[in-house]
Structure formats: C-alpha cells, structure tokens
Amino acid sequence: MFWWPAGADLFNRLAHEPATGQLNPLTMNTYKVVKNVIKDVVSMFPDSFYHGGANEITPNCWKSNKTIQYFLAKNGTLSQLLEMFVNSTLPYIINQNRTVVYWEDVLLDPNVSVAASVLPQKNVILQTWNNGPNNTKKLVEAGYRVIVSSAEFYYLDCGHGGWAGNDSRYNQPPGTNLGNGGSWYAPFKTWQTIYNYDITYGMNIEEAKLVLGGEVALWSEQADPTVMDPRILPRASAMAETLWSGNRDSTGMKRYAEATDRLNEWRNRMVTRGIGAEPIQPLWCIRNPGMCNTIQPFKLS
C-alpha cells in the first residue's frame, strides 16, 4: 500500500515515510517477533539500556487494518493498542536487565500515547525531541530521567531540502518565499545554535538532576558514509563542550570566541587524522586568532 495515497493530506498518510507498515498489537505473532529481536539485540550489545522507540505512530496505518477496525468499532482506542504493546514488551525488556528508553511521544503525543502509570520511572528513561526545553520540563516534572535530543537544536540532518520526490512546495514562481525550503525542521543547525542550547533551561536544581545528558541525531534519509563526517563534525564537538564544561565563563558570558578557537584547533586535529570535519572559519581567521571576532561581546540575556 502506497505510503501517501493520492488526495490524502499530510495527517492522513499511512506512514511518516515509506515503506508503509506498523506492527499490529492485536496479533500474537507480533510479540514473538519483537521478543526475538530484543533477545538478539541484548545478546549483541552489553549496554544497560535498550531503546524501545514508540514514536511517530501513524494512526491511519493501524486504522487500515481490518482486525484493528473491528477493535475500534467496539470502542477500543489507538492509545489502548499502544498500551497493549508496551505492557507486553516493557516487562520482557526489564527482565533482560535493561533500562528502557522511549521517545517522548509514548507519553506526550496528543493522539496516541499511554498513561504515566504504564511507564515506571524506575525502569524508563524518556528521550525528548519536540518543543525544545518545554517538553524536557514536562518530562522531568513527571519524575522521568531524560535524554535531550531537541530537534530545533540537535538534529544534524535538517536544512538540506526535502527528500520526497514530486514535492509541489518547490513549484513556485520566482521570488516566492519558500520558508524552510521544503526541509523538515529547517534551518540547518549551526554549531553556534548547538553550543547555545541550555538543556536544563527553566528547571530547578532537582529537576535538572533528572536530565542525564544530550544526544545529537543524524537521521539517514539524506546522509550516508560519503557525507557523515562533515555533517556530524565539528558540530557534535560543540555539543560535547557545552554539556561537559558549560558554555559560559565565570562571569556568565557566553564563550563563543574561546569556543571558536578551540573548535578550529580540534577540527584541524581531526582532519590530520583523516576525519573529514567541515571548517567553521576561513583559513585566514584560523591563522590570525581573534581577528575575525565581532567587536560587541555576547551578553547574558
């Protein structure tokens, strides 16, 4: 079945991306397959965590299945389907001596989600990607440990145009403002944008303790090994510095000038080791440290 039927709008697709298909929580074979996958992954990776996904469920995919149609006709809901799946797989993962990581959608999605009672804070970590610090705040307020991957700051694949073919958004007369250029979650996330992000913004001390850290993401729709190094580096290095040692000096000023010099040096080290990290300044600036800085310092806002 085609992932985006003719005449259907964005919210009535059968999948977020091709190919179409979701596991059916009403079929027992689903759990046989999933548990075999979990068992194989756990045996291959010694990590103490297992990522259970559970994000971006496409309602119309489930609704197109006759068994699920019957379930819904008997007053069942899509959220109940997700709860069935979580209740059938979460205990199995925990029994493998793993802490389960889910995307935030499992709790916060407005259409298909489960109650907090289904996700014990002791065994579950939630990874946030939507709505910046606001969703992170919601999760820590609910008592969950959180990994931050806010798309507005940490999605490294965004800003390169759309991947869908025959996209009518590009069929516009000259001079038309294309906005995000068809890119999902545009614009491109610069190293400065990443460096500037405070993943515990708006939290008190106890809430901030629940934020375990951050993770940049490079999704593979438009990325493969030929572009992987420059897409990731040195932008991921900017995140590493701000999470490890902060992005402000002792007076509260942002350290963009110092960070620029450090990233230039680090980028050159990577290049000499055969890593294709992209440049962040012209060579003249690198050879003349500080001479490409702005006159006005960045002030604490």
Per-residue model confidence (pLDDT) at position 300 = 53
Q: Rounded to the nearest 5°, which phi and psi values hold at 226?
A: -70, -20
Per-residue model confidence (pLDDT) at position 179 = 64
Per the annotation, the verdict on 206 as an active-site residue is no
Domain boundaries, the chain: 10-164+178-244
- Output the six-digit token pair for 126: 């939630």
Per-residue model confidence (pLDDT) at position 74 = 97
The active-site residue, picked from 56, 207, 215, 258, is 56
**Residue 156: Cβ-neighbour burial (10 angstroms; 0-12, 13-18, 19+):** buried
Correct CATH for 10-164+178-244 of 3.20.20.70, 3.40.50.300, 3.20.20.80, 3.40.50.2300: 3.20.20.80
Give me the DSSP letters along 9-66: -GGG-S-SSSSP----TT-HHHHHHHHHHHHHHHHH---SEEEEE-----HHHHHTSH
pTM of the model: 0.92
Per-residue model confidence (pLDDT) at position 15 = 85
Tokens 């205990």, residue located? 91
- Composition of the chain by helix, strand, coil, percent to 5: 40, 10, 50
Q: How far apart are the first and last CA of the chain?
A: 51
Residue pLDDT tens, the chain, 301 long: 578 777 777 778 888 888 878 999 999 999 999 999 999 999 999 999 999 999 999 999 999 999 999 999 999 999 999 999 999 999 999 999 999 999 999 999 999 999 999 999 999 999 999 999 999 999 999 999 999 999 999 999 998 888 888 777 777 777 776 666 667 788 899 999 999 999 999 999 999 999 999 999 999 999 999 999 999 999 999 999 999 999 998 888 888 888 999 999 999 999 999 999 999 999 999 998 888 888 665 555 5
Per-residue model confidence (pLDDT) at position 164 = 82
**Distance of alpha carbon 40 from its chain centroid, rounded?**
24
Cβ proximity of 129 and 108 under 8 Å: no
Per-residue model confidence (pLDDT) at position 174 = 78
